[in-house]
Amino acid sequence: MLLTACSGNRLKTDEKKLAAEILLQEKEETEREVREKPLGDTLKKLPPGFRFKEMRSADPSKPPVVIDIAGSLDNIKEFKLSDVASKITYIRMQKVPDTGFSRTMKFKYYLMDKNIVAVNPSGILLYTRDGKYLSTVVKNEFTGIEVTESGIIVRGDNTFIGGGYTVWAQGNMLYYKYRNSLTGQSYIMEYDCSQVPISLKTDFDPEKPRQVRALGDIAVNLNPGIKKPSMPKGSANGMYSAGYEFFYKGTGTILLDHNTYAKPLGSEFTPGGKYMMGIFDKKGDTLATFTQFEKLETFSKSVMRGTDQGIQYENKGKLFFRNAFNDTVFQVIPPNRMLPVYVLNLGKHKLLKKEGLDPDFDLSGKIIPETWAETRNFVFLSFSKDSYDCYNTRKSKQLKQYFAVYEKSNRKLFIVKGDPHNYDEEILMNNIDGGIPVWPSSYMTGSNGEILISLKGKELKERVKSDQFKRSAAPASKKNELLKLAASVANSEDILMIVE
């Protein structure tokens, strides 16, 4: 079921627009294949052990866009959702027939040309664009992992068989990572979503312990020649936990094209790490590595502070990356290029790695980039000032949290008007239908500029009863439509909200 709310008058050209976008994407895919062939031919001729020299220079014909955070701190503007979007579509996702597939945690969604992909700790599901369930791509099996509504607890002696949280696509081809911690298998899988949906066979065959229990074919073997299981992350008594954002926002290893893939090589908690990113061919041979300049030669303190974690996101099959404590967002291009796309001007507020990791360093006056989401017309970003984001700094109100919108059309950054000490404030108030307020995530934006919001029916029910909904200046007709939707859904029902 789809329910659409629009702001103001809108021509009924959505179908024509969608058809045109699909044709354009098909053309881009054809052109992409033509471009990739010469690289594939070149890689076949390389001598063993050959590595390309890393390239990080800008394109003189298209220099990186400078987002001036330091110079825009007083450039404050009030924003509402209608300032960045004009339409909301609600898609009710059909319940999975398999009652063993848990829906405790909300889904992470990915829009394909003709499908919707839903991901959560239980696995990966394929839907039509109107929310009809098609098939289970992979159903995860694990021990030592506990899933709650808000996050995941992982014990050191856990086991895992199934798909990761990162999915991406090229045309009808869906890609995802598959891992079996018991056998050491690690693959990038590809599945053609245009084929007739088939049922996933999940029964374990003891005579075939390495059999892949997932739909699709192996595109890349990330652990070639290694039969033994990888070591668990911690000891049997160790554990770690994090909110769903931590697990959903990372991309990790990702295909760049039909010839190559990339994966991060460093971490914000690795003081002396030499490299931050690597590009590899499909056999696993290293083609290029990119030097990490944000590093410490020594770090003597026993505790590190978690501040800047960098960003990594995929858009239209392209990988974008900002290393922790770096001010540049790069596009990763095979076989050996990191192209500067955006540069954050932090001025005197820039935080160095040695300062950010040091728990005794005073962060007064420093700015720490946090969230980042790019759409067709805007970049949505947030940052903290004078402190870093954690439970204690929120409790003491040391943290100042800012949200900002970069308008690509006029190349200006605006700070969203609000209270930097109110951490629960509605950022983009929904004046289209009075519903859930919006702030996009890097891991849930569509290739055509859509903002995706994952909801449960309970959230809609609570929203339409709230004072914010009652006071909303959204058109009465749209509020009434949302009231009807909220009344018809179950608390546990999954709903995809698409803002465009």
pLDDT of residue 233: 45
Average pLDDT over residues 52-74: 96
Average pLDDT over residues 54-63: 95
Q: Is the pLDDT of residue 277 over 70?
A: yes
Tokens of 171: 């045309």
Task: Specify which of 31-35, 154-158, 311-315, 464-468 reaches the highest per-range mean pLDDT.
Answer: 464-468
pLDDT of residue 17: 63
Those residues with Cβ within 8 angstroms of residue 131's Cβ, 6 or more apart along the chain or in another chain: 1, 2, 91, 92, 93, 94, 116, 496
pLDDT of residue 2: 65
Contact 393, 383 (CB under 8 A): no
Contact 358, 302 (CB under 8 A): no
pLDDT tens-place string over residues 179-191 = 999 999 999 999 9
Burial class of residue 472 in the structure, from the number of CB atoms within 10 Å of its CB (0-12 exposed, 13-18 middle, 19+ buried): buried
Q: How many helices (H) and strands (E) does the chain have?
A: 7, 28
pLDDT of residue 73: 97
Tokens of 384: 């903290």
pLDDT tens-place string over residues 383-431 = 999 999 988 999 999 999 999 999 999 999 999 999 999 999 999 999 9
Of 4-13, 174-183, 217-226, 456-465, which gets the smallest average pLDDT?
4-13
The proportion of the chain whose per-residue pLDDT surpasses 90, expressed as a percent, equals 66
Domain locations in the chain as residue ranges:
2-13+55-499
pTM of the model: 0.90
- Transcribe 342-368 into DSSP letters: EEEE-GGG---HHHHH-TTS--TT-EE
pLDDT of residue 24: 67
Q: Is the pLDDT of residue 225 over 60?
A: yes
Name the average pLDDT for the chain: 89
Q: Is the pLDDT of residue 10 over 50?
A: no
Average pLDDT over residues 129-157: 91
Of 159-163, 164-168, 220-224, 271-275, which gets the smallest average pLDDT?
271-275
> Which value, to the nearest 10 degrees, does the dihedral of the CA atoms of residues 192, 216, 218, 320 take?
50
**pLDDT confidence band for 228 (50 / 70 / 90):** low
Average pLDDT over residues 292-307: 81
Average pLDDT over residues 181-208: 84
Of 12-21, 44-53, 449-458, 460-469, which gets the smallest average pLDDT?
12-21
**pLDDT confidence band for 463 (50 / 70 / 90):** very high
Side-by-side strand order, sheet with 328-333: 65-68, 337-345, 328-333, 318-322, 311-315
Average pLDDT over residues 83-108: 93
If one counts every other C-beta atom within 10 angstroms of the C-beta of residue 186, the result is 19
Higher per-residue pLDDT: 126 or 211: 126
**pLDDT confidence band for 37 (50 / 70 / 90):** confident
SS3 letters across 219-279 = EEECCCCCCCCCCCCCCCCCEEEEEHHHHHHCCCCEECCCCEEEEECCCCCCCCCCEEEEE
pLDDT of residue 278: 96
